[in-house]
Amino acid sequence: MLDSMRRVDSNASEYTGAKGFRRVDYVKITIFGFALSALWSSLHGIILPVRLLDFVAESQKNTYLGLLTFTGLLLAMAVQPIAGAISDRSGFSWGRRRPYILVGAILAILFISGMGFAGSYIAIFVIYCLLQVSSNTAQGPWQGFIPDMVPGEKRGLASGVKGLFELLGSIVVLRLIIAPFMNRYFTGEGSSWLWLALGALAVVMLGVMIATVLTVKERPGVGGAQLPSLSTLYKSFKIDVKAQPNFIPFLVSRLLFLMPLVIITTFGLYFLQDFVGVANPVTATADLIVAAGASMLVVVYPAGRLSDKIGRRPVAIVAAFIGALGIVLLYFFPSYGYIMLAGSFLGISYGAFTSANWALATDLVTRGEEARYLGLVNLATAGASALARLIGPVIDFFNAYSAGLGYSVMLLACFTFFIASAMLLLRIKAR
């Protein structure tokens, strides 16, 4: 373990050099998050909810959407730690992260185009799962850049930059490109607009992948010898509870916090259409995401810097309570203006949380196994996304009993998750 710590510390110091970690270096190691965020926010927020209406009944749309994304995200939970663990132990001449980013991104681009060719729900199902596998093959190793290269006292700032690019990916690509294109796509008509939307996502992924692979300079062969396949698979999911007693409570608190945000993002279009009754739910969904995203942009960078000064937990705990307040606004004031205000609260909440919580994750990881442990963080991230989708059948069940009741149950669950996350964060012992 001591040797692993020395190797990693040496890697970070040699990367930064005497001049320290430069501002442009923060951009190089985090910009890939722009493409990942653009891809999944666009698919989950607009493209899939609209595309599924080509193949499933209106009364069952929440159920089919929930089951589809639940299955794909289970794959994400499995693939990302494995890819991270293999990356940790790789010794390629041009680094242990970039080869996987290159391969994963190229495969993801191919499967993005498959969304347009799909002619049935089953086809969408298979392609979506393959896209999850390829995307997470790239994401697991990419997440190792921050603990690999950023000095410990700067990781809150680096996490803030990472969150900033992820937010920009959602706002810029989804609102300015995907929403206008998909707003012109209707069931069985306007297929060219669907292809333009998918093409935009593919171009973004390709461009950002090339920028990452060409500009990030890793030290060759840091990972050493690779483990045998079966050993790697087993150890990919192993958590040393004695050495890392806070890691499992951290994972659970992160899962609980992220579930409400995923629920609102996934079922927001149907909520605005059926419960609020807005005239154009696609545009309204994009506006809600923009309201949240703009607020995130305001707080994500300063929250990261603040967490470097006062600690990660206080920032994350306050963020959870702000998120709960946003849910209260959605429940008691279901009008367009208040929904945008609620989106702003949710954006502030997520922006502060994503910086502080990811910095906390990089603090907790075991040295020498950074990508594997950050891949395990995806058990909470993808786990929240997967479990959140299971509320789809619940929404349809209660809506069948009484119109709109399912969405009330949905909001109550979201409020409860935020509060539970804050309570659990209080139990984590800070270093």
Distance of CA 204 to CAs 16, 159, 267, Å? 28, 21, 25
The crossing angle, in degrees rounded to 10, of helices 121-142 and 98-117 is: 160
Question: 362: closest CA among 79, 182, 159, 199?
Answer: 159
Q: Residues with Cβ < 8 Å from 283, sequence gap 6 or more?
A: 179, 183
Domain annotation covers residue 229: no
Check: CB of residue 425 under 8 Å from CB of residue 313. yes
Q: What is the domain count for the chain?
A: 1
Tens of pLDDT along the chain (431 residues) come to 334 333 434 444 444 433 466 888 888 999 999 999 999 989 988 899 888 888 888 778 878 888 888 888 888 888 888 888 888 878 787 888 899 999 999 999 999 999 989 889 999 999 999 999 999 999 989 988 888 888 877 777 787 788 788 878 877 887 788 888 888 886 556 688 999 999 999 999 999 999 999 999 887 654 444 554 555 555 666 666 666 677 888 888 899 999 998 898 888 888 888 888 887 877 787 788 778 878 887 887 788 788 888 878 889 899 999 999 999 998 888 788 888 999 999 999 988 888 888 777 777 766 666 666 777 777 787 778 778 878 888 898 998 888 889 999 999 999 999 999 999 888 776 55
pLDDT at 6: 39
pLDDT at 249: 84
Check: CB of residue 227 under 8 Å from CB of residue 235. yes
User: Distance (Å, rounded) from C-alpha 310 to C-alpha 165?
Assistant: 24
273: exposed, middle or buried (Cβ count in 10 Å: 0-12, 13-18, 19+)? middle
Domain annotation covers residue 191: yes
Q: Residues with Cβ < 8 Å from 191, sequence gap 6 or more?
A: 116, 185
Domain annotation covers residue 430: no
pLDDT at 371: 65
pLDDT at 223: 44
pLDDT at 205: 96
Domain annotation covers residue 264: yes
Domain annotation covers residue 296: yes
pLDDT at 418: 95
Q: Within 13 Å of residue 31, how many CA atoms lie on the same side as its CB?
A: 19
CATH number at residue 171: 1.20.1250.20
User: Distance (Å, rounded) from C-alpha 261 to C-alpha 418?
Assistant: 10
For residue 108, the one-letter residue type is A
For residue 124, what are the domain limits? 2-221+235-425
Domain annotation covers residue 431: no
Domain annotation covers residue 228: no
Distance of CA 330 to CAs 66, 222, 341, Å? 21, 49, 9
pTM: 0.69
Domain annotation covers residue 318: yes
